[in-house]
Amino acid sequence: MKKVKAKDYPSANTVTVLNDQAVVYQLDGQFSNTQHVARLVLTPTGKTDAASSSLYYAKDAEKMEVLGAQVIKADGKVIPVDQKSIQDVEQSGEANIYDPNGRAMKVTFPNLQVGDVVDMTYKLTRLTPTRMNYFNDIFGFQSTEPMLEASYVVDGPATMPLTSQLYHAERGGKISESKSKVGDRMHYAWSVKNAPQLVPEAAMDFTTETPMLVVTTDPSWQHFSQWWAKLTEPLPALVETGSTDGGPGSPGSGGGLVGNRPADQEPTGRPIDIALYQRNNSNEGNVRNEQEKHRPGA
């Protein structure tokens, strides 16, 4: 860290020393995402920003674990974060949405000083896939603070390969990628070094300005659109049958549904939480935790 000087980054309050994610997904769509983040504090404003982190998750579908948190002082001394400084709390209003299942692991780094590094590793496990038998995620290779190193690696079944698209790869640092098969699994990796800081402007849409990786096991937009069209097709019409026997359509029953598919089920018959899908589909691995705070677009 002695090589990183504040004068080299005059527009930055913090520097991301590393932002590494390792994802493992399964055939049913369940996955785990382990992220290791280290940030160097350059200014008093950066100290305030880095002093705490909120790692968001949905308690009805996910599990969040803080695997390690520490402060590395300017002289190299390592101070572990006490367990009492790691709290499981209700999701606060900074996410700009109320979710009764929204939770956050809040990590506080006490006595932080300019020149310190906050270092944290955490793991998000999705137990209930937003879409059964599919996985998707996004990862940004540029941020509102300089990034010295960032990587995104994925381990998945060879029988359910990833389709990937890297948008705006020409912006920021040079991104390297690789793919290999190991047994019955596929390993994918993308990485960048020395990605420059993006200084935001008012109302900027980060997703159209920064290098952005999108991965999915859905083979094409056409395939996805067919599934979505079936899911969101018009619901069966409500009818008034005038029945008085308390059955479907009777006045006391609130009317009947023509057809045999409940409104909260997708065509296959599997219950689906549409709100959860819409909330998470655009940011499967990143929306719900510290990535939301520091990734492009947050």
pLDDT tens for residues 219-259? 988 998 998 898 888 666 554 544 444 444 343 434 333 33
Task: State how far the Cα of 134 lies from the Cα of 109, in Å rounded to an integer.
Answer: 36
Task: State how far the Cα of 293 lies from the Cα of 57, in Å rounded to an integer.
Answer: 13
Q: What confidence score (pLDDT) does residue 280 get?
A: 47
Region 193-200 average pLDDT? 90
Sheet holding 86-90, edge to edge: 52-58, 102-108, 86-90
Chain-centroid distance, C-alpha 121:
15
Q: What confidence score (pLDDT) does residue 237 get?
A: 56
Given a contact cutoff of 8 angstroms between Cβ atoms, the answer to whether 61 and 272 are in contact is no
Q: Which pTM does this prediction carry? A: 0.77
The vertex-39 CA angle with 155 and 82, nearest 5°, equals 90
DSSP 1-15: -TT--GGG-TT-SEE
Q: How confident is the model at residue 95 (pLDDT cuts 50, 70, 90)?
A: low
What the block records as the tokens of 285 is 């691995």
Per-residue pLDDT at 49 exceeds 70: yes
Q: Report the chain's mean pLDDT, rounded to a whole number.
A: 82
In the chain, pLDDT over 90 holds for what percent of residues? 60
| Class of the CATH domain delimited by 6-219+275-294 | mainly beta
Spans of all domains in the chain: 6-219+275-294
Sheet holding 136-140, edge to edge: 136-140, 212-216, 163-167
Q: How confident is the model at residue 5 (pLDDT cuts 50, 70, 90)?
A: confident
Task: State how far the Cα of 21 lies from the Cα of 94, in Å rounded to an integer.
Answer: 24
Q: What share of the chain is helix, strand, coil (3-state, %, to 5)?
A: 15, 40, 45
